[in-house]
Amino acid sequence: MAKWGHASCFTPAITHGRTNGKNPILFSALLWYISATMNKQGNVYFVGAGPGAADLITVRGANLLSGAELVIYAGSLVDRQLVQTYAGQAQIYDSSGMALTEIITVMLDAVAAGQKVVRLHTGDPSVYGAIQEQMEALDRLGIGYEVVPGVTSAFAAAAALKQELTLPEVSQTIIITRMEGRTPVPEREALRHLATHGATLALYLSVGMIETMVQELLAGGAYTAATPVAVVSRATWPDELIVEGCLADIAGKVQSAGITKQAMILVGDALGAWRQGMKARSLLYDETFSHGCREGTVA
């Protein structure tokens, strides 16, 4: 049976002192001392849990969870049932209420005891997963780790819509981005600049600012009020909700639906192409097209 834990005091100077880089010499010395006394054989795994549904985790991720002795999961975004299903015998921590130093402390405790640790992130860890600072801390300790990819919510949303995001002569580019909130976005990546391309956009962490998002997209010049938009809330969860519209009306529709967080926003002409008729088809399966696996026929 899973054991739900709390951060320990294996490294009290880190956990309770909250150095946050203000005393780098003391912090580095403490990390060096810990690393010098630990097994460094690399039993930490950053695993993508997928977008929500428990059976959308990868086989490798599920196998690692099944063999884990300690799991730290993003409880605000990852289904607790997924963790219980695959890691029923592990010690489990919910990172939603933990700071970085507490997360690293729990990892250190487990690695010191020779345990296999899974750090379970929502979607794919490489997309807005905040894993870089965790890996940096492990690097400084000399602890090895692996990263296991997962299905990110942009592609779960496309699947829910039964929608291809890259269509010939419509869009061959997908831009993954977000609105600026408390985490700043570089000026060169401001949404109105990205919107000049007219590509398919996948916006994370932005549904709470959807009115401003619409203004920024229209300011880019490539999209119009009629550009299709789809908002998929909690894709693949039992309470998944899809709202479709265009830039002119999507903000009102989303507000009426009560969607304020945990939603993927997809924008672009590719979303409406199947209704309007496809401009062109891929050559991949065209019988006249030759490639490395077959010879095309002459019409």
- List the chain domain ranges: 3-151, 154-276
> Are 58 and 150 within 8 A, CB to CB?
yes
How many other CB atoms are found less than 10 A from the CB of residue 1? 6
Please name the fold of domain 3-151. Answer: Cobalt-precorrin-4 Transmethylase; domain 1 (3.40.1010)
Count of CA atoms in the C-beta half-sphere (13 A) of 150? 31
Count of CA atoms in the C-beta half-sphere (13 A) of 12? 1
Q: Do the two domains 3-151 and 154-276 of this chain adopt the same fold?
A: no
| DSSP codes joined into one string, 75-109 | TTTS-HHHHHHH-TTSEEEEGGG--HHHHHHHHHH
Q: What distance in Å separates the CA atoms of residue 251 and residue 211, rounded to the nearest whole number?
A: 6
Please name the fold of domain 154-276. Answer: 3.30.950
Question: What's the pTM value of the predicted model, to 2 decimals?
Answer: 0.83
User: Can you give the pLDDT of all 299 residues of the chain as single tens digits?
Assistant: 566 665 543 333 333 333 444 545 345 535 544 554 544 454 899 999 999 999 999 999 999 999 999 999 999 999 988 999 999 889 999 999 999 999 999 999 899 889 999 999 999 999 999 999 999 999 998 898 999 999 999 999 999 999 999 998 899 999 999 999 888 899 999 999 999 999 999 999 999 999 999 999 999 999 999 999 999 999 999 999 999 999 999 999 999 999 999 999 999 999 987 777 666 666 666 666 677 777 777 65
